[in-house]
Amino acid sequence: MLTTEQREIRALAREFAEGEIRPHSRAWDESGDFPDEVLDALAELGFMGMLVPEARGGLGMAVPAYLAVMEALSWGDAALALTVAIQNGPIPRLLTISGTEEQQSVWLPRLASGRTLGCFALSEADAGSDPSAMVTEASRTGSGWEIRGEKRWVTNGARADVAFVFARTGQRDDGRPAIGCFAVDTSDEAYRVTGREATMGLRASETVTVSLDGVVVGDDRLLGDPARGLSYALEALDIGRLGIAAQAVGIGQAALEHATRYSKERRQFGQAISGFGAIRGKLSRMAARVGAARALLLDVGARVEMDGASDPERMPLRAEAAMAKLVASEAATWVADEAVQIFGGYGYMRDYPVEQLLRDAKGTEIYEGTSEIMRLVIAEAVLGHE
């Protein structure tokens, strides 16, 4: 499915992950952070602006190639890859579908270069799977908008330079809430990080609560129609979900490789455990599920690329993106769990990598839409609902 050039890009990403990411993954997991220098190195390779057009300073990479790179980086460390996925997927997509020419010319080159890191502030305590229930408000002022509220589970919310914040702006004619999207400088004193979550997995990825205590922005920071922000967010999440699916495939591949290697080294009853039928059966099923998830993901990526090549506004395929995320995330969790089982007692120990992979894999079933929400999205498409 990948061209020769795209395979070379994937190989470059795998080489970087093997040398610069994977050796530090355990330490990052324990410390709950990774250094800015690794993001700088990724930016030098162009991996912070893979889907940004070349005219805007990015690589203008085809979607399948982007997904292959994301798999390779996630094979190295899923927490770091999550930051890269957000920077490359939903944020540039949001600017592409809703930003003005001036907004795109200002923000996209900064994001692609890695000089500016972005975050996506949509969810709230009582508005996770149903973002339309958000209570954060943006009120008209003489010079623009004043935003008040609190956002939860914001990845990179403390590290980011700009936050794309979604807030209620009133009520639409159909009775539904009008929601706008605003680019907020995180240096504004009214933008405050009030806490960080202690997560089960992906510990090096910062997940924070953000308080917006009267942030004032001008009209130039409003993206698109102030009543259509939620539709922009959902479209941006479609491409974001493909990035998470690639992350899940990378986790699954890492778990498969660790389990395969261990099965050849571990000896019981006078032979390597790879010789036992039970272990061979596990490894074969693990390989099949990882391969199937990858094939589906790359197929959807190719379809997205074809649809979006002539008309960027048509890029997302919502149900297909949901299928890819659902299949890949559940495969990653299952495969990582099987890897722990193959390692036996050692798999349950922090000294071995598979327990971290299992913790990380579970996150892919939850963020950017739970598996339950993915099934609802798919069901609507199957039943012909708009």
pLDDT tens sequence across 152-190 = 999 999 999 999 999 999 999 888 899 999 999 999 999
Model confidence pLDDT, tens digit, residues 21-65: 999 999 999 999 999 999 999 999 999 999 999 999 999 999 999
What does the mean pLDDT of the chain come to?
Answer: 95
- pLDDT value at position 2? 84
Structure tokens at 29: 């997991």
pTM, two decimal places: 0.94
Question: What was the pLDDT predicted at 220?
Answer: 95
Whether 197 is catalytic: no
Res. 315: pLDDT tops 90 = no
pLDDT for res 175: 81
Q: Would residue 183 be called left, alpha or beta, if left means φ above 0 and alpha means ψ between -120 and 50 degrees?
A: beta
Does residue 311 have a pLDDT over 80? no
Rounded Cα gap, residues 262 and 268, in angstroms: 12
Instruction: Note the pLDDT of residue 174.
Output: 85
pLDDT at 313 over 80: no
CB 377 within 8 A of CB 318: yes
Structural domains for the chain: 4-113 (1.10.540.10), 118-227 (2.40.110.10), 230-383 (1.20.140.10)
- Pairwise pLDDT comparison (28 vs 315), residue with the higher score: 28
Q: Report how far apart, in Å, the C-alpha atoms of 85 and of each of 48, 96, 368 are.
A: 9, 16, 11
What residues have CB less than 8 Å from 229, skipping those under 6 apart? Answer: 98, 166, 167, 169, 179, 180, 181, 223
What was the pLDDT predicted at 310? 40
Predicted confidence band of residue 316 (pLDDT cuts 50, 70, 90) = low
Contact between 222 and 149 under an 8 Å Cβ cutoff? The reply is no
Query: In what helix (H) or strand (E) does residue 213 lie, and over which residues does it extend?
Result: strand 207-218
| pLDDT confidence of residue 309 | 47
Catalytic residue among 368, 372, 380, 386: 368
Average pLDDT over residues 319-340: 97
